[in-house]
Amino acid sequence: MQSSVYKVYLYQGGIGLPERDYYFNTDSRTANIRTKYKEHLAKMMELIGEKNSVNISAKIFKIETELAKSSRKLEDLRDDYANYNKMTLKEFNSTTPSIKWKNLLEIMGIKNIDTVIIGQPEFFKEVEVIINKYSIEDWKEYLKWDLINENASLLSSKFVEENFDFSGRILSGTTEQRPRWKRVLDNTNRLLGEILGMEYVKLYFPPEDKVRTKELVNNMVESFAARIKKLDWMSEKTKEKALQKLSTMVKKIGYPDKWKDYSTLDINRDSYVINVLNANNWHFKDMVSKLGKPVDRTEWQMNPQTYNAYYNPSNNEIVLPAAILTIPGKKMSEVDDAFLYGFIGASTIGHEMTHGFDDQGRLYDAEGNLNGWWTAEDSIKFVAKTQLMVNQFSSYKVLDSMHVNGKATLGENIADLGGLVIGYDAMKKTKDGQMNEKIGGFNADQRYFLGYAYSWAMYSRPENLAKRIMTDVHSPAFLRVNGPVSDMTQFYNAFGVKDTDELFRTSDMRVEIW
């Protein structure tokens, strides 16, 4: 509601399985995971010396199940208005009198605050009930488990192996653990990422790539603006504000202008786990130190070497790390525009831009405040269009009886389709797009869609796919390609798709938003 101010948020949590539905779904796959989880819990408690580990783990699982029961579902966590509940600290204390929040927050270094934002008030009301339902000894065991579970991968080999057996083999289907040096490097990357980032961009992101990316971004913005102006379902009043939001959207490309200073972080050769805990604490204190200060809009929430990107609605910004702007096995200068606009323009730049106008992002204004700027009529038309997309993706069966969660994945699916249609328009303005000549047997339109597909070339084991269906707001990678392209007439024309082909959708079933 106030993007210029830092505030303390409190959200639901406290469960050991990835998502609340793991505790309740009755399909055989999920039921088996619950059984294995209880066994894993008991083994971990035994490793820390608990003699009555089976009974203790059963009590812990019971507590977690009650916390899960009072937690909101994945799709409900995407309602930004419903998950924004501002309270004075006094009001919040009255809902959970057993927790002395002022004392607890001060221990964390959070002082002199009068209000907090509560994500799910009903969860904390239930926490008050659960706290008094179980003994202090039960809670001590629960907190021991939480500490060990969070840090098991950093401990001795017995903890590491047991943790991997459940989290890796059972939950994700991973057959072999990565070498220790790679796991240590993962944590170095996570906790000291901008130090590695400085070296990464020297090696892999030359200045000419940043120049070409800026040109690509500008072309995408122009194409998006042209599409907004031509929309037949949006009023002129809403169009004007949409164009203002698009024109003021900040574009961060490659790497930050100002790097983090880690000089006060204590790292030594005595203990790996202590180094990680010190780094976690350093980042937490760094976050807390921002309270009461102006929001730092130059800060990045992702490292340059991270193959990912994001849109931040509170800053109205797209952030494009260097890694996602690179093409495996090629220099950017070696790739033609048609392929590049599919690989980077559609899947990343256009995708993140569209997030500013998806079912969540559209609720934020040009300054990044949660502040409805659409007319009621335009909102109704938008929701009707997006319901077609919910229906489309909910119909996709992925594993066993598991379908994509069309509601939970809606924002990402909107962004995928938006990125593709905007990217296509931008590509057609380039020399490659206009000449449409063949390279390697494919014309520009075909290379555009192949470039987009290449950006999602990945494989998931069934176990990991099942986990992602339940926990991820993104659709599986193959549906991030086949889903949106099946809504595009340009794709049908590029490859001569016929009504007998598997991806064919009748014109009345194709989703068109932006």
The conformation of residue 169, written as its DSSP 8-state character, comes to: I
Helices and strands in the chain, H and E counts? 22, 8
The reply to whether 188 falls in a domain is no
121 and 254 both lie in a single domain = no
- Residue 87: phi and psi, rounded to 5, are -135, 150
Query: What is the Rg, in whole angstroms, of the alpha carbon atoms belonging to the chain?
Result: 25
228 and 296 both lie in a single domain = yes
The reply to whether 493 falls in a domain is yes
Q: Which domain holds residue 50?
A: 9-173
Whole-number pLDDT of residue 378: 98
The reply to whether 2 falls in a domain is no
Q: 107: exposed, middle or buried (C-beta count within 10 Å: 0-12, 13-18, 19+)?
A: exposed
238 and 342 both lie in a single domain = yes
The reply to whether 269 falls in a domain is no
The reply to whether 15 falls in a domain is yes
392 and 354 both lie in a single domain = yes
351 and 425 both lie in a single domain = yes
* Residue that terminates a domain, selected from 173, 204, 235: 173
Note whether 74 and 473 are within 8 A (CB): yes
Write out pLDDT tens, residues 408-437: 999 999 999 999 999 999 999 999 999 999
57 and 96 both lie in a single domain = yes
Whole-number pLDDT of residue 401: 86
Q: Which two tokens stand for residue 272?
A: 């790996």
135 and 205 both lie in a single domain = no
If you search the block for the tokens 């339902």, which residue do you land on? 133
The reply to whether 141 falls in a domain is yes
Write out pLDDT tens, residues 218-272: 999 999 999 999 999 999 999 999 999 999 999 999 999 999 999 999 999 999 9
**Cα gap 369→4, rounded to integer Å:** 9
135 and 251 both lie in a single domain = no
The reply to whether 358 falls in a domain is yes
Q: Average pLDDT for consecutive 10-residue bins of the chain (514 residues)?
A: 95 97 96 98 97 96 98 97 96 95 95 95 97 97 97 96 97 95 96 96 95 97 98 97 98 96 95 96 96 94 97 97 94 96 98 98 96 96 97 95 96 98 98 95 98 95 95 97 98 97 95 96
66: domain CATH number is 1.10.1380.10
**Cα gap 402→475, rounded to integer Å:** 12
Which positions ≥6 away from 169 have C-beta within 8 Å? 175
If you search the block for the tokens 């809902």, which residue do you land on? 95
The reply to whether 186 falls in a domain is no
**Cα gap 125→129, rounded to integer Å:** 7
* Residue that terminates a domain, selected from 173, 206, 225: 173
**Cα gap 178→188, rounded to integer Å:** 15
Please provide the DSSP assignment of 407-423 as one string: TTTHHHHHHHHHHHHHH
442: domain CATH number is 3.40.390.10
- What's the number of domains the chain is made of? 2
168 and 299 both lie in a single domain = no
Helices in 401-461 by DSSP H: which ranges?
410-427, 431-435, 444-455
393 and 452 both lie in a single domain = yes
**Cα gap 503→484, rounded to integer Å:** 10
The conformation of residue 270, written as its DSSP 8-state character, comes to: S
The conformation of residue 170, written as its DSSP 8-state character, comes to: I
Q: 94: exposed, middle or buried (C-beta count within 10 Å: 0-12, 13-18, 19+)?
A: exposed
pTM of the shown model: 0.94
Element (H, E) at 310: strand 310-312
* Residue that terminates a domain, selected from 173, 202, 229: 173
125 and 208 both lie in a single domain = no
State the pairing for strand pair 250-254/9-10: unpaired
If you search the block for the tokens 């300054």, which residue do you land on? 367
Note whether 272 and 291 are within 8 A (CB): no
Note whether 338 and 234 are within 8 A (CB): no
Whole-number pLDDT of residue 400: 86
225 and 359 both lie in a single domain = yes
